[in-house]
Amino acid sequence: MRPRPTRPRLLQAMIDAFRLPDLRRRILLTLGILVIFRFVAHVPLPGVDAQRLNEIFQANALLGMLDMFSGGAMRNFSIAAMGVYPYITASIIMTLMVPVIPRLQAISQEGESGRHKINRITHWLTVPLAGIAGYSQLVLLQREGAVAGADFLTTATMIISMIAGTIFLVWLGEIITEYGIGNGISIIIFGGIVAGYWEMIGSGVLAGQQGQIGGLVAYILIALATVALIVIFTEAHRRIPVQYARTTFRGGRMYKQAGGTHIPLRVNTAGMIPLIFAMALVLFPGMIASYFANPTGADPNFANHIVNIFNPNADMPLGLFYWGLYFLLVVGFAFFYTMVMFEQQDLSGNLQRQGGFIPGIRPGRNTKTYLDSVIKRITWAGALFLAVVAIIPFLSREFTNVQVIQLSSMGLLIVVGVVLDTMKQMEAQLVMRRYEGFIR
């Protein structure tokens, strides 16, 4: 019998996965939905000036962020121009409102049925948010001359088409979650970001042709170091030991049983949410001021100065102000969102109800105080990590002097997080079928 050739663990795991009919079907379904998503992203709305549209997106960083969530569909102004961004916004709003509104808090505590109700409310909230965002986007592009003016009926048709495109992408994402591999919404965003990397590769080739070899190598090293940093902090967590004491009755006698486990508190509990909040807030003044700024060639007014101050592509020292403010906002939002999520989980209350306790810490208020102190300490590491990742585009541009490549730290954070999550789900599927996976 010939020996089985040795292969890398990741490659071998993919081969083992394709040998299983049901797992192969899940993987092919996920890939097929991504193909459908890319087709939808290239179905344009009428009256679009593609060249003018590209110029606008290169000059507006906020539109570039929204285009990332839409997977390039907004840059084409297709029927999926808003991507899943309205659904993400609705999810964030519901996450913040559940601990504040008693009725929503009661619904969230109803178990599986409560989760479905919250999810249904999130879907309904997505529709008006998509309509508002679509109309704002349409008005902005018409004002900039990228989209031709239209009557009321045509405008309404375009907005309804964009709402339908968003809901369709959310539906595709939920099909991936239920019948495919990975988190569907994250996979949709991941597919769009990865599709845009071909343009970045072309920009890298252009930088090499311009003689910026040293800067291009440094840029690649910074990108690799960023990926390694994201992997380390995404997987990092603090283990809190927990003991459980249970009492059971057998044959009329009482037996006491004890068991130990741990609570993994993630260093980066907030994920990429602080980056989204901070970027939206730091870009908002410049976006509003751009409506009142004088055109190019005219004497600059106060709005022109605001636009220059809040411009991410500004030279020093204005660029330092913008990215410094971005850094501080990311740190602040990381603490805010982490504490909101932590309060919503109510770990100390759940431990007390389940008969668990932390060794050396009394249940109840003392446990809550201890867990709060731990999460605040480790959140400093997570917040500073997110803030450093946020300003990496600025640092890479200043150190390498390469202007034709735009490194999206948020895009890298999403891509690495989705890959890690999908790998873990793939590993779980293989372990259930007694196959050796690729994560030890």
Q: Are 189 and 56 part of one and the same domain?
A: yes
Q: Are 228 and 197 part of one and the same domain?
A: no
pLDDT of 211 reads 55
Q: Are 197 and 259 part of one and the same domain?
A: no
Chain segment 156-177, per-residue pLDDT in tens: 888 888 888 889 988 998 898 8
Does position 440 have pLDDT exceeding 50, yes or no? no
Q: How many CB atoms are closer than 10 A to CB 115?
A: 12
Query: What is the C-alpha R_g of the chain?
Result: 25
Tally of structural domains, the chain: 2
Chain segment 102-149, per-residue pLDDT in tens: 888 888 777 778 888 888 888 898 998 888 888 877 877 777 677 776
Q: CATH code at 370?
A: 1.10.3370.10
**What does the pLDDT average to over 54-69?**
64
Average per-residue pLDDT in the chain? Answer: 75
**Residue 156 placed within a domain:** yes
Residue 91 belongs to what domain range? Answer: 7-209+436-440
User: How is 344-373 classified by DSSP, letter by letter?
Assistant: HH-HHHHHHHTTEE-TTS-TTHHHHHHHHH
pLDDT of 12 reads 65
Chain segment 347-363, per-residue pLDDT in tens: 777 777 777 777 877 87
Which of these ranges, 90-99, 176-185, 248-257, has the smallest mean pLDDT? Answer: 248-257
Which of these ranges, 223-237, 298-312, 385-399, has the smallest mean pLDDT? Answer: 298-312
Q: Are 254 and 395 part of one and the same domain?
A: yes
Q: Are 125 and 273 part of one and the same domain?
A: no
Q: Are 249 and 272 part of one and the same domain?
A: yes
Q: Are 176 and 267 part of one and the same domain?
A: no
Q: Are 116 and 191 part of one and the same domain?
A: yes
User: How is 392-432 classified by DSSP, letter by letter?
Assistant: HHHHHHHHH---S----HHHHHHHHHHHHHHHHHHHHHHHH
**Residue 22 placed within a domain:** yes
**Residue 68 placed within a domain:** yes
Q: Are 58 and 123 part of one and the same domain?
A: yes
Phi and psi at residue 44, in whole multiples of 5°? -80, 155
Chain segment 187-202, per-residue pLDDT in tens: 888 877 777 666 666 5
Instruction: Detail the DSSP E strand segments found in 211-348.
Output: 237-250, 253-266
Does position 73 have pLDDT exceeding 60, yes or no? yes
Does position 306 have pLDDT exceeding 70, yes or no? yes
Chain segment 232-267, per-residue pLDDT in tens: 888 888 888 888 766 555 555 544 455 567 788 888
**Residue 413 placed within a domain:** no
**Sign of the dihedral through C-alpha 364, 351, 272, 238:** positive
Q: Are 224 and 161 part of one and the same domain?
A: no
pTM of the model: 0.73
pLDDT of 76 reads 73
